[in-house]
A and B are shown apart, each in its own frame.
Chain A
Amino acid sequence: MYLKNALLAATALTFVAAAAAHAQTITIATVNNGDMIRMQGYSDKFTEATGIDVEWVTLEENVLRQRVTTDITTKGGQFDIMTIGMYETPIWGANGWLVPLDGLSAEYDVDDILPAMRGGLSHEGTLYAAPFYGESSMIMYRTDLMEKAGLEMPEAPTWQFIREAAAAMTDRDNDINGICLRGKAGWGEGGAFITVTGNSFGARWFDEDWKPQFDQPEWNEALTFFVDMMSESGPAGYATNGFNENLSLFQQGKCGMWIDATVAASFVTNPDDSTVADKVGFALAPNSEGVDKRSNWLWAWALAIPAGTEQADAAKQFIEWATSKDYIELVAENEGWANVPPGARTSLYENPEYQKVPFAKMTLDSILSADPNNPTVKPVPYVGIQFAAIPEFAGIATQVSQEFSAVYAGQQTVEEALEKAQAFTAEEMEAAGY
């Protein structure tokens, strides 16, 4: 009897000890890009400091979006932290699907987050996701080709100057395209680019009564300008070019100018990958003459906690660590200031070491000039610059961008595409009850 009791006690103790030794584990869904992969590498330091293990589910952006949306809307509880963007955060926050990020520690210094980022990741003043890195868009151009063309890039150029410069830099014999821009269908690819281009010509997606505006002259002007310029100076087949295709062209010296995400600056100036690393200049994204809005967007990849996770405290601890000033210092120490996650904190841009990075100032200026509440000249009922933060937008914009890509591919005219976009958007918005 004594032996049996002793055995039972020993077994129970073993189980307790095993449970205690088994560390807490959080699961994070994230995208595959340089900054996120770097963070995965450093997460051992978080585990060392807190005893919390981290499991990663890394997916391509569109797959991740579908995966986390399915999970959060069904309360699947597969993830303790999700990497989401500025489009999802206010919508999901409003639906009560995310844990509010209040009560962050004093050392975290939440006021240090750039106001544009904080605003875009909040709903009714409550922060629902912490920015891991933020981006706007800007012009990256070849200084040598610009000089050869006898032109000088202004700090804040107009589209008309860009078109002129692109034509002057184009050298078809040597396979150099004056300008490379996104034409690929998809709301986050070519759809995002043409939306900000539209903004800089005074176009808007919806008026104050949620009526689509593709039948207005500003859209016709913007799309016609884009198509004409790309026909003159863009690469062949640009209708299927997205970020990666243009990055590849620019790194191989086949683009005079490229207007895209500010995070690309570290890629094109990296001598390991880019053949033109020492010949790149930066300027603000252009606007059309007389229009007081530039074509730069605002985006952040941010970490959020889905409501319903049982590990909200551990998740919050991780978010505080990964988006802190200390994390930035950690990366700078090991990999240099050019490789720290940009665009999230004011203090980074006040750091004299970071100010030496060639694209730091232009990145900050681009982010600061982006206003998600006033994306274009006329008033709009939505928040967001390259998107409208409503659930219906992704589906509608994907379809609209497919129509525009068909114009780039020469399959239909600007007028036909705009007519279809207007009809489709009006139908969808009506069906959604707007």
Chain B
Amino acid sequence: MTRAVTTRRKSLNTALAWAVGLVIFFPILWTILTSFKTEAQAIASPPLFLNFDWTLENYAIVQERSDYMRFLWNSVIIAGGSTILGVIIAVPAAWAMAFVPSKRTKDILLWMLSTKMLPAVGVLYPIYLLFIRLGLLDTRGGLVVVLMLINLPIIVWMLYTYFREIPGEILEAARMDGATLKEEILYVLTPMAIPGIASTVLLNFILAWNEAFWTLNLTAVDAAPLTAFIASYSSPEGLFFAKLSAASTMAIAPILILGWFSQKQLVRGLTFGAVK
């Protein structure tokens, strides 16, 4: 009897999880389906789900009109570069806050997070002027630095949370064995925090990949990533939903594939320390 109830509950939970998953995934699924329709089919009412003439025409047009590989490469460099640079800076910072806390550590953490509360447009002009002065407009290097700075509070917070789960005694033992600070961080702390660091890297890579304010405002031709590629297909005067969907599908495909293959690592990292 108990087993029957447990099985029924399990099935119910599974069905519920699938239903929630489908609801969350539906906009992406709809975008992918729309990318295979004609413009007329894309706006058809009632909407066409699977019963339409599938076409690759939109992909051909997008491919012909835009240099997809250039945008993709810029996205990889900008998202990857900002994430790596962020982690390099955040690991020692999070280590200090987690293992050598001072009276002000909590305040510093909150202050760092408070920088995320300012609307980006509020600092657009100062940053734009700074970029002009430094010759960084429309450069990948400039965007790597800006996106790193924007995501740094999140990286530090995430790493701080993971590091707090690691017993300080292990690090103490390493010190007793004569490990230097560098060795302690590199050979003791980092291997133990790998799941946390991996999920931090993945999450920040996704955030940087999808960032669409600075990447649109600070680029033109040379450093424009996939967010600019999508924006070039959005139009308030003309129905180009199928082409926009094709461009969106091409832009999200790499990150979707990356997320799919690393989902175990991502879930493990995100739930790290959630259950004691």
The yes or no answer to A32 lying at the interface (CB within 8 A) is: yes
Question: Are B236 and A60 touching (Cβ within 8 A)?
Answer: yes
Q: Mark B211-251, 1 if CB is under 8 A from A, else 0.
A: 00000110011001000100111111111100000000000
Q: State in angstroms the CA–CA spacing of A337 and B272 once bound together.
A: 64
Quick check: B220 and A272 within 8 Å, CB to CB?
Answer: no
User: Do the beta carbons of B138 and A74 come within 8 Å of each other?
Assistant: no
With A and B bound together, what is the CA distance between A60 and B40 in angstroms?
Answer: 21
B: number of interface residues (CB 8 Å): 30
Is A61 close to B, CB under 8 A?
A: yes
A76 CA to B125 CA, complexed, in Å: 11
Decide if A61 touches B237 in the complex (CB within 8 Å). Answer: yes
Q: Which residue of B lies closest to A175 (CB)?
A: B45
Name the residue on A nearest B132 (C-beta): A76
Of B137, B217, B220, B237, most buried by chain A (CB within 10 Å of CB) is B237
Partner of B125 from A32, A58, A74, A242 at Cβ < 8 Å: A74
Nearest CB of B to A213, in Å: 28
| B45, A32: Cβ atoms closer than 8 Å | no
B101 to chain A, nearest CB (A): 41
Minimum CB–CB distance for A64 against chain B, Å: 9
A59-B232, A76-B128, A243-B236 as given contacts; A70 in contact with B217, CB under 8 Å: yes
Complex CA distance for A27 and B231, rounded to whole angstroms: 17
Given A27-B220, A27-B221: A74 and B132 interface contact (C-beta under 8 Å) = yes
CA distance A29 to B233 in the complex (A): 14
A66 touches B217 (CB 8 A): yes
Find residues 243-297 in chain A having any chain B CB closer than 8 Å to their own CB. Answer: 243-244, 247-248, 251-252, 254, 261, 263, 267, 272-273
Whether a CB of chain B sits under 8 angstroms from the CB of A37 is yes
B182 within 8 A of A: no
Given A34-B238, A70-B217, A247-B239, residue A76 in contact with residue B124 (CB < 8 A): no
Are A67 and B217 in contact, CB atoms less than 8 angstroms apart?
yes
B60: Cβ under 8 A from any A Cβ: no
Task: Report A-chain residues with C-beta under 8 Å of the C-beta of B44.
Answer: 252
We find that the number of chain A residues with CB closer than 8 angstroms to chain B is 41
Q: Which residues of A contact B237 (CB under 8 A)?
A: 31, 33, 61, 243-244, 261, 263
A residues less than 8 Å from B109 (CB atoms): none
The answer to whether A172 has its CB under 8 Å from any CB of chain B is no
Give Cα A254 to B46, complex, Å.
12
Give the Cβ gap from B4 to chain A, nearest Cβ, in Å.
Answer: 47
Assuming the contacts A40-B65, A74-B128, A74-B132, asked whether A61 and B232 have C-beta atoms less than 8 A apart, the reply is no
A242 to B234, CA, bound (A): 14
Cβ of B227 to closest chain A Cβ, rounded Å? 10
Q: Is B129 an interface residue (CB 8 A)?
A: yes
With an 8 A cutoff between CB atoms, is A104 at the interface? no
Contact of A60 with B234 in the complex, beta carbons under 8 Å: yes
The reply to whether the CB of B39 lies closer than 8 angstroms to some CB of chain A is yes
Interface contact A63-B129, CB-CB below 8 Å = no
Q: Are B236 and A67 in contact (CB under 8 A)?
A: no
**Given A74-B125, A76-B137, does the pair A61, B43 have CB atoms closer than 8 Å?**
no
| Chain B residue at minimum C-beta to C-beta distance from A71 | B128
Can you name the residue of chain B whose Cβ is closest to the Cβ of A186? B236
Query: Does A47 have its Cβ within 8 Å of any Cβ on chain B?
Result: no
Does A148 have its Cβ within 8 Å of any Cβ on chain B?
A: no
Q: Which of A30-72 contact B (CB under 8 A)?
A: 31-34, 37, 40, 55, 57-63, 66-67, 70-71
Which listed residue (A60, A71, A252) contacts B43, Cβ 8 A?
A252
Say yes or no: A252 contacts B128, CB within 8 Å: no
Is the CB of A79 closer than 8 A to any CB of chain B? yes
Cβ contact within 8 Å between B216 and A32: no
Residues of B within 8 A of A74 (CB): 125, 128-129, 132
How close is A151's CB to chain B, nearest CB, in angstroms?
26
With A55-B221, A63-B216, A252-B44 in contact, is A32–B233 under 8 Å at CB? yes
A188 neighbours in B (Cβ, 8 Å): 236
Determine whether the beta carbon of A32 is less than 8 Å from that of B128.
no
Are A63 and B45 neighbours in the complex by a CB distance under 8 Å? no
Residues of chain B from 40 to 60 with CB closer than 8 A to chain A in the complex: 40, 43-45
The answer to whether A79 touches B220 (Cβ under 8 A) is yes
Least Cβ–Cβ distance between A307 and chain B, in angstroms: 15
Asked if A32 and B221 make an inter-chain contact with CB atoms under 8 angstroms apart, the answer reads no
Chain A's nearest CB lies how many Å from the CB of B207? 20
Name the distance in Å between B122's Cβ and chain A's nearest Cβ.
13
A272–B39 alpha-carbon span in the complex (Å): 9
- A67 touching B216, Cβ below 8 Å: yes
Closest to A249 in B: B45
A273 lies within 8 A of B232 (CB): no
In the complex, per-residue mask of B4-27: 1 if CB is within 8 Å of any chain A CB, else 0? 000000000000000000000000
Among candidates B40, B137, B224, B234, residue contacting A32 with C-beta atoms closer than 8 Å: B234
- Are B235 and A60 in touch, CB under 8 angstroms? yes
The CA of A267 and the CA of B238, in the complex, are separated in Å by 8
Task: Contact check, B221 vs A244: say whether CB atoms are below 8 A apart.
Answer: no
Shortest distance between the CB of B38 and any CB in chain A (Å):
8
- Structural contact, B128 and A273, CB atoms closer than 8 A: no
Chain B residues within 8 Å of A247, by CB:
238-239
Q: A244 to B238: give the CA distance in the assembly, Å.
A: 6
Given contacts A74-B132, A78-B137, contact A244 B40 (CB under 8 A): no
Partner pick for A273 among B40, B45, B221, CB 8 A cutoff: B40
List A residues at the B interface (Cβ < 8 Å). 27, 29, 31-34, 37, 40, 55, 57-63, 66-67, 70-71, 74-79, 188-189, 242-244, 247-248, 251-252, 254, 261, 263, 267, 272-273
Residue contacts A-B, CB under 8 angstroms, 21 given: A31-B235, A31-B237, A32-B232, A32-B235, A32-B240, A33-B235, A58-B231, A58-B232, A61-B235, A61-B236, A70-B125, A71-B128, A74-B129, A188-B236, A244-B237, A244-B238, A247-B239, A251-B40, A252-B45, A267-B239, A272-B40
Given contacts A31-B235, A59-B216, A75-B132, 20 further A-B pairs with CB under 8 A are A27-B220, A32-B232, A32-B234, A32-B235, A32-B240, A33-B238, A58-B231, A62-B236, A63-B234, A70-B124, A74-B128, A76-B128, A78-B137, A243-B236, A248-B43, A252-B43, A252-B44, A252-B45, A267-B238, A273-B40
Closest 3 CB pairs of A and B: A58-B232, A60-B234, A32-B235
